[in-house]
Amino acid sequence: MAQEDSNVIDQPEVIRHKMVTVEIAGKKYDVPEGITIIKALWYSGQEVVRGAGCLGGFCGACAAYYRTKDDPKVRTCLACQMAVQDGMSITMMPPFPARKATYDIQALKDPKQDLFNLYPEAPLCRNCNACTEACPQKIDVREGVWKAVFGDFKSVSEMFMDCVMCGMCTPVCIADIAPNLVALYVSRAQGAHFTEKPVGLDTRIKEIQDGRFNDEWTKLLKMNEKELADHCATVK
Amino acid sequence: MDIHALQQIVHQTRDARRKQTLPKLSPADRDQLIHKYHPDFRASAFRPIRFGPNVGDKTAIELATLLEGDSSIVDGFDLTPHYTTDVLVVGGGGAGCAAALHAHGAGAKVMLATKLRLGDSNSVMAQGGMQISVAPEDSPVTHFVDTLKGGHMQNDHQLLKVMVEEGPSIAKWLLSLGVLFDRDGDGNLHVKKGGGSSKPRLLTCSDYTGLEIMRVLKDEVLNQKIQLLEFCAAVELTSDEKGNCTGAIFKDLDNQRHVVVAAKSVILATGGIGRLHIQGFPTSNHYGATGDGLCLSYRLGAKLMHVDTFQYHPSGAVYPEQLIGALVTEGIRSEGGHLVNAKGERFVNELDTRDVVSASIIRECEEGRGIRTMSGRIGVWLDTPLLDAASGPCNRSCCLRL
């Protein structure tokens, strides 16, 4: 919004953006310093269909590889969360054809054993740690795969709570494991099979079914606008 | 003073602010504040819709323009369906996935179409939590009343009653699919207190409530082998002579071809319109939140409700630069984070309803008590070090204005 903000007390005027040069898929572009990689793609006029999602670091659509100036190490990031720097080389990660097992989560008889039928490659981890290094969310992925294999589903579900399913752990795996998919199965099994059932929730559902609130509802829904507003005002 | 000097004021005033309690506004004060500062009351940002079911109704210029747009489908378009299904769900977020799974579970043949990937949605970004009355001291009726108050009594009573009453069963359904909600020591669902609610009611999965729910729903849609059309944007609904919806036309974003789907029922679960950037506001909304469903249904003759009101989330980052538009969860305020102006003062009860908090932030910015960032945006501080003194200074200014 181009409104004047001249009344902001004792603060300096706008500072102009410094430009930096980045390389996107092998081509150089000048973009403002400090913007995100996704914004740099837009700024340089790239069409972004598959590489953009929530733009908030949650959906994992914008997995990208980058390398900073003079550093041989290629790193991973979510392009909506990483600011560009001068001399950065960037490319987006293409979709990777990892195999997802399908299962009926509620019908599983022995989820910890079923893991080996659904993902038989899971125990073949060779400890190279590439998955952990590839994770833009800094999850100890390798450790998670081992914990899954040894049946510590609870720890896996906690470790992978911030997994955005970007899948960057998958192409690097020399044992063809898709750690994010393994962890998702494990977390779901943990929730559906190894977590206490909340008694209070069942009580509430039964109360609703048994019509415990019916009198209150009748009273409330019969009120006219004014009565309803007055009633609402009494609830603090 | 520059932004770093202004930041010092936040640190200096922290202890004093901690002792303060700010009252929530009375209904009269609230109305006055909102009429003056809430974006819904900027006359210049609205205009009447020129034609269609809502002709004459005032709405945001951006939405009006979109609703009045021409169809991209030309005369003589071949409507022979490529796919035929019982239920067509347009949208792959929380609502779309839930609708697809329920219809599939009831035995219908289901197709789910989304213009991005399955699961790409605002749902995946929800951090604060999900309001369901599960606590013993709470009830669906109280939930109803709180929501009515937040909605300025404008809510559809019937719809609202269904939502508050079915909430607990939905929580149970999600649990059965493996969603890991936070728990209390006794195994019951843990509830936090959210803005505008009289009882603790927020169900959470750490700070990733939406992500956790969406990971599970997406996985379940794939497990159930529900037919998917990804990267296919709905561009028009089809209808029979009586005007009943008979399916939809999609545009495949990968090859630019049209795909026609015939369906007995069509469910629109297309989400909101944050990405129209109404009044130039930054948005925390997903890239795909462009109001497609509103347009699609409007062109088929549906009358839209409440086109004059939009929700503005009070806290989004305007500093640092790469975080502009990023949502700052309500949870930070419900945990006690202060909103602070350039003078180091609190100016609103942080747990008041979203419209009050939003309007207050705008008031501070417009009356010269905001903080100007390096790129010229104006915001107010959200004092987060207050919550975790050990984590060092990480103040963010949060705001709704450019």
On the 0-12 / 13-18 / 19+ scale of CB atoms within 10 A, A44 is middle
Q: Are B365 and B399 in contact (CB under 8 A)?
A: yes
> Do A84 and A39 have their domain in common?
yes
d(CA B393, CA B372): 18
Q: What is the pLDDT of residue B402?
A: 28
Position A97 in a domain: no
Q: Average of pLDDT values for B175-190? A: 97
What CATH number labels B3-38+312-398?
3.90.700.10
Strand ordering across the sheet containing B227-229: B227-229, B110-113, B83-90, B258-268, B245-252, B232-239
Q: Are B395 and B348 in contact (CB under 8 A)?
A: no
Last residue of a domain, one of A40, A70, A92: A92
Quote the domain boundaries for residue A49.
19-92
Q: Is B122 on the interface with A (CB under 8 A)?
A: yes
Position A12 in a domain: no
Q: Are B46 and B58 in contact (CB under 8 A)?
A: yes
CB A11 to CB B116 under 8 A?
A: no
**Could you tell me the CATH superfamily of domain B83-280?**
FAD/NAD(P)-binding domain (3.50.50.60)
Residue B252 has pLDDT above 80, yes or no: yes
The string of DSSP letters for B167-230 reads: HHHHHHHHHHHT----B-TTSSBPEE--TT-SS--EE-STT-HHHHHHHHHHHHHHHTT-EEET
On the 0-12 / 13-18 / 19+ scale of CB atoms within 10 A, B14 is middle
> Do A81 and A135 have their domain in common?
no
Residues 6+ apart with CB under 8 A from A209: none
- Closest Cα to residue A167, out of A147, A184, A150? A184
Q: Are B122 and B287 in contact (CB under 8 A)?
A: no
Specify the pTM: 0.87
Query: In this complex, which of A3, A103, A164 lies closest to B211 when CB atoms are compared?
Result: A164
Binning pLDDT at 50, 70 and 90, where does residue A188 land? very high
Residues of B in contact with A228 (CB under 8 A): 148, 153
Residues of B in contact with A221 (CB under 8 A): 157, 161
Q: What is the pLDDT of residue A231?
A: 94
Determine the Cα angle at B396 with ends B391 and B401, to 5°: 170
> Do A213 and A168 have their domain in common?
no
pLDDT, averaged across chain B: 90
Q: Are A124 and A175 in contact (CB under 8 A)?
A: yes
d(CA B365, CA B339): 12
Query: In this complex, which of A58, A200, A221 lies closest to B124 when CB atoms are compared?
Result: A58
Residue B401 has pLDDT above 60, yes or no: no
From A206-215, B50-59, B364-373, the region with the lowest mean pLDDT:
B364-373
Q: Is B23 on the interface with A (CB under 8 A)?
A: no
Residues 6+ apart with CB under 8 A from B153: A225, A228, A229, A232
pLDDT digits (tens, 9 = 90+) for A96-143: 999 999 999 999 999 999 999 999 999 999 999 999 999 999 999 999
Residues of A in contact with B217 (CB under 8 A): none
> Do A140 and A203 have their domain in common?
no
Determine the Cα angle at B255 with ends B253 and B260, to 5°: 75
> Do A85 and A23 have their domain in common?
yes
Query: In this complex, which of B161, B168, B225 lies closest to A102 when CB atoms are compared?
Result: B225
Tokens of B394: 């990480």
Q: What is the pLDDT of residue B284?
A: 80
Q: Are A36 and A81 in contact (CB under 8 A)?
A: yes
Roughly what angle, to the nearest 10 degrees, separates helices B27-37 and B354-366?
50
Q: Average of pLDDT values for A161-166? A: 96
Binning pLDDT at 50, 70 and 90, where does residue B225 land? very high
Per-domain boundaries in chain B: 3-38+312-398, 83-280
pLDDT digits (tens, 9 = 90+) for A3-61: 444 445 556 555 566 899 999 999 999 998 888 999 999 999 998 888 888 888 899 99
On the 0-12 / 13-18 / 19+ scale of CB atoms within 10 A, A27 is exposed
Element at A53 (helix H, strand E) = none
Residues of A in contact with B133 (CB under 8 A): 204
Q: Is A183 on the interface with B (CB under 8 A)?
A: no
Residue B387 has pLDDT above 90, yes or no: no
CATH code for position A29: 3.10.20.740
Q: What is the pLDDT of residue A115?
A: 98
Amino acid in the structure at residue B174 = L
Position A99 in a domain: no
Residue B399 has pLDDT above 70, yes or no: no
Q: Average of pLDDT values for B355-375? A: 87
> Do A71 and A134 have their domain in common?
no
Q: Is B250 on the interface with A (CB under 8 A)?
A: no
CB B168 to CB A208 under 8 A?
A: yes
Residue B12 has pLDDT above 80, yes or no: yes
Binning pLDDT at 50, 70 and 90, where does residue B167 land? very high
Half-sphere exposure of B124 (CA within 13 A, CB side): 32
Q: What is the pLDDT of residue A15?
A: 57
pLDDT digits (tens, 9 = 90+) for B143-162: 999 999 988 899 999 999 99
Q: Are B84 and B264 in contact (CB under 8 A)?
A: no
Position A7 in a domain: no
Distance from CA of B62 to the nearest CA of A (A): 14
> Do A172 and A126 have their domain in common?
yes
Q: Which of left, alpha, beta for B152 (phi over 0: left; psi -120 to 50: alpha)?
A: left
Residue A210 has pLDDT above 50, yes or no: yes
Q: Is A209 on the interface with B (CB under 8 A)?
A: no
Residues 6+ apart with CB under 8 A from A17: A32, A33, A34, B375
Q: Average of pLDDT values for B252-261? A: 96
Amino acid in the structure at residue A124 = L
> Do A181 and A211 have their domain in common?
no
Residue corresponding to tokens 């035929």: B84
Residue A208 has pLDDT above 80, yes or no: yes
Between B364 and A34, the higher pLDDT residue: B364
> Do A203 and A179 have their domain in common?
no
Q: Average of pLDDT values for B224-231? A: 97
Q: What is the pLDDT of residue B168?
A: 98
Between B400 and B349, the higher pLDDT residue: B349
Does the ipTM exceed 0.90?
A: yes
Q: What is the pLDDT of residue B294?
A: 96
Between B177 and B327, the higher pLDDT residue: B177
Q: What is the pLDDT of residue B92?
A: 96
The number of distinct structural domains making up chain A is: 3
CB B168 to CB A201 under 8 A?
A: yes
Half-sphere exposure of B148 (CA within 13 A, CB side): 26
Residue B397 has pLDDT above 60, yes or no: no
pLDDT, averaged across chain A: 92
User: Cis omega (within 30 of 0) on the bond before B320?
Assistant: yes
Q: Average of pLDDT values for A146-150? A: 98
Q: Are A165 and A184 in contact (CB under 8 A)?
A: yes
Q: Which of residues 260-279 of B touch A (CB under 8 A)?
A: 279
3-state secondary structure string across B51-90: CCCCCCCEEEHHHHHHHCCCCCCCCCCCCCCCEEEEEEEE
Whether the CA torsion B287, B291, B295, B297 is positive or negative: it is: positive
Q: Average of pLDDT values for B134-146? A: 96
Residue corresponding to tokens 């179409």: B113
Q: Is A210 on the interface with B (CB under 8 A)?
A: no
Count of H-run helices and E-run strands, chain B:
10, 15
> Do A44 and A123 have their domain in common?
no
Look up B333 and say whether it is catalytic.
yes
Task: Give whole-number Cα distances, B191 to A235, B132, B336, in Å.
Answer: 19, 9, 16
Position A6 in a domain: no
Look up B313 and say whether it is catalytic.
yes
d(CA B309, CA B314): 15
> Do A126 and A185 have their domain in common?
yes
CB B206 to CB A162 under 8 A?
A: yes
Q: What is the pLDDT of residue A7?
A: 45
On the 0-12 / 13-18 / 19+ scale of CB atoms within 10 A, A236 is exposed
